Structure 1
């Protein structure tokens, strides 16, 4: 059941991804529909193009959940910034669902930001 559901999901997502790629080089839009859907479509297309993809290790739901968190933080969180010298503090708050998303995003992305910039990042 899970395998057939995944195949159906991949088929449904891959079709818009094909349409998305068909627009490249034209004056039409590159992103099809809602941004999270387009991101999932693009990732599924990349994975589909890779013959080494182990679909048993692909977790589209986890990607979707992460994209939902990104959307909540980007569109519904309130950010207050405080600067003292070279230290910048961002206090990101919101309703319960937003606060939970902020916690997950800060935990997931702080180490990447630290690696990419060389900054000291605390979440």
Structure 2
């Protein structure tokens, strides 16, 4: 799985634009949380590029970059969770899940 690091608020505008051509996934990950580590591991083990339907994955270390996490919640009108995955399509969040509800199969079903 090839993560794209989300490290600036400017990237959120780029992600919105990009999502008009392909769906984008944002994973907000807490590096000190065992639930977040488990969710990340399960997602990475299940990820198969050939089954991802062109979904582009972005990774946010929300402990280092909490202001970006807050901006994601504001921009995409979702309640902040950790860990959390959002699917962005046509500039809007069409799906979000948190904790153990983060599952590759369900993400793909919601594209």
TM-score range, shorter chain: under 0.3
Flag the structure with more relative contact order, 1 or 2, with Cα contacts below 8 A and sequence separation at least 6. 2
The structure with the greater share of residues assigned to strand is 2
TM-score of the two chains, using structure 2 as the length reference: 0.25
